[in-house]
């Protein structure tokens, strides 16, 4: 939700970062460069790792979120492991502190809904870090299909296995980004989910082929895995009159249109900005605090995307039982 109070123009937001992993360090780096932010400290129990990062950015390292709160933070970025999102965000929200939580919002939708309700009661801003919305290639794709009759969306998000990953599979780590993008690009809810998952080399699912239908009738497909030796991030959108392709890594967007009976068509490359997505995301959060408008990705939206991802996991888990039941019916019919 949006903050109930609007900050005076030009006043810097006292903000801290919780977690000094890869994303926490990136958040701290960008915040240290934003004029509207006063990076108070980085909180992490591993002070030996956090202290050099903090010193390089001209701030300090503290051992926990309580120490961060004691420094008078008005806002926080929570980039700790997912299972800590709910308790850490609860501590901050109940102290009246605005929170940006890295995706997913929590370990499960119930915890996410609880955080949304707590933020409403406390009158603070709660934003979820679905950073791909702020990739300017994605924003260019959305602008290119504005007012178009969207027929289908296909998203590929693949790469090698990340050594840091241990407690979730590709659906929560990767596909949740694209579930959010499908809802955002179509401006429609996902009403049907058809997941196919496999764990080829990892303990949890490392391959996911997910199919969706939105309330507006758009068919969508996500292909994601940890088996590809290189990273690839592509979006393909088909409309009645256009075919738009976006490369989210190189930030190139191509639009095909003007189809002719002989099979020819026109193609053009659309201009794309190159501002770092994380900077745009953090600016959206800070702007919400100063303007009172909702942030770029609300807590409610984060919960919905997580809920759909969990439905994918649950649906795939039930698939063998459904297949066994169907096979038994076939045998009985014979």
Query: Rounded to an integer, what distance in angstroms lies between the CA atom of residue 53 and that of residue 66?
Result: 20
> If we measure between CA atoms, which residue out of 88, 86, 84, 87 comes closest to residue 76?
88
122 contacts 227 by C-beta, under 8 angstroms: no
- Which pLDDT does position 315 carry in this prediction? 87
Q: What is the pTM of this model?
A: 0.89
112 contact partners, CB below 8 Å, separation of at least 6: 104, 105, 106, 299, 302, 303, 306, 307
Query: What b/e sequence results for 196-213 when a residue is b if at least 16 CB atoms lie within 10 Å of its CB, and e otherwise?
Result: ebeeeebebbbbbbbebe
Query: Using an 8 Å Cβ cutoff, are 255 and 186 in contact?
Result: no
- Give, in degrees to the nearest 5, the angle at Cα 293 between 292 and 294: 120
- What was the pLDDT predicted at 5? 45
User: What is the predicted pLDDT for the residue at 326?
Assistant: 38
Q: Residue 14 to residues 35, 77, 147: CA-CA distances in angstroms? A: 11, 11, 40
Q: Which two tokens stand for residue 197?
A: 């998952």
pLDDT at 323: 39
Q: How far is CA 78 from CA 83, 122, 143, in A?
A: 12, 18, 30
Q: Which domains are delineated in the chain?
A: 13-130+280-297 (3.40.50.720), 149-240 (3.30.360.10)
Helices (H), 203-298: 277-291
**Could you write out the DSSP letters of every residue in 7-58?**
PPTTPPEEEEEE--SHHHHHHHHHHHH-TTEEEEEEE-S-HHHHHHHHHHTT
**Sign, Cα dihedral of 35, 41, 47, 51:** positive
Residue 93 · residue 118 · CB < 8 Å: yes
For the residues of 148-190, what is the DSSP string, one character each? S-EEEEEEEEEEEPPTT--S--HIIIIIHHHHHHHHHHHTS-E
**Contact criterion met (CB below 8 Å) for 17 and 282:** no
Q: Looking at residue 167, what is its pLDDT?
A: 78
Strand 150-160 versus strand 75-78 pairing type: unpaired
The Cα 100–Cα 94 span in angstroms is 14
- The reported pLDDT for the residue numbered 44 is 97
The β-bridge partners of 41 are 16, 60
Helix (H) or strand (E) holding 196: strand 190-198
Residue-by-residue pLDDT tens, the chain, 334 positions: 444 444 555 689 999 999 999 999 999 999 999 999 999 999 999 999 999 999 999 999 999 999 999 999 999 999 999 999 999 999 999 999 999 999 999 999 999 999 999 999 999 999 999 999 999 999 999 999 999 999 999 999 999 998 765 678 999 999 999 999 999 999 999 999 999 999 988 888 999 999 999 999 999 999 999 999 999 999 999 999 999 999 999 999 999 999 999 999 999 999 999 999 999 999 999 999 999 899 999 999 999 999 999 999 998 776 544 334 334 444 454 4
């Amino acid at each position: 939700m949006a903050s109930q109070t609007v900050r005076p123009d030009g006043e810097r937001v006292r903000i801290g970062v919780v977690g000094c992993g890869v994303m926490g360090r990136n958040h701290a780096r960008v915040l240290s460069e934003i004029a509207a932010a006063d990076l108070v400290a980085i909180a992490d129990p591993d002070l030996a790792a956090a202290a050099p990062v903090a010193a390089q950015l001209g701030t300090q390292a503290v051992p926990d979120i309580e120490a961060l709160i004691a420094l008078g933070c008005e806002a926080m970025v929570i980039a700790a492991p997912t299972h800590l999102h709910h308790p850490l965000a609860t501590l901050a929200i109940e102290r009246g502190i605005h929170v940006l939580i890295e995706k997913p919002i929590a370990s499960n939708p119930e915890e996410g809904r609880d955080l949304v309700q707590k933020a409403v009661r406390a009158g603070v801003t709660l934003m979820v870090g679905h950073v791909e919305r702020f990739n300017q290639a994605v924003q260019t794709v959305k602008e290119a299909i504005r007012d178009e009759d969207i027929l289908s969306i296909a998203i590929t998000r693949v790469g090698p296995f990340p050594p840091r990953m241990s407690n979730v599979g590709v659906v929560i780590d990767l596909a949740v980004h694209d579930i959010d993008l499908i809802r955002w690009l179509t401006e429609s809810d996902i009403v049907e989910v058809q997941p196919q998952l496999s764990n080829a080399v990892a303990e949890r699912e490392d391959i996911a082929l997910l199919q969706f239908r939105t309330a507006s009738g758009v068919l969508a497909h996500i292909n994601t895995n940890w088996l590809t030796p290189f990273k690839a991030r592509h979006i393909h959108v088909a409309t009645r009159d256009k075919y738009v392709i976006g490369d989210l890594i190189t930030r190139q967007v191509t639009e095909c249109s003007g189809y002719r009976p002989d099979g020819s068509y026109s193609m053009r490359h659309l201009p794309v900005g190159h501002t770092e997505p994380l900077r745009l995301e953090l600016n959206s959060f800070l702007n919400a605090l100063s303007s009172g408008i909702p942030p770029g990705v609300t807590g409610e939206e984060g919960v919905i995307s997580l809920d759909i991802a969990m439905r994918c996991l649950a649906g795939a888990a039930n698939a063998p039982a459904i297949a066994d039941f169907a096979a038994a019916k076939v045998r009985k019919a014979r």
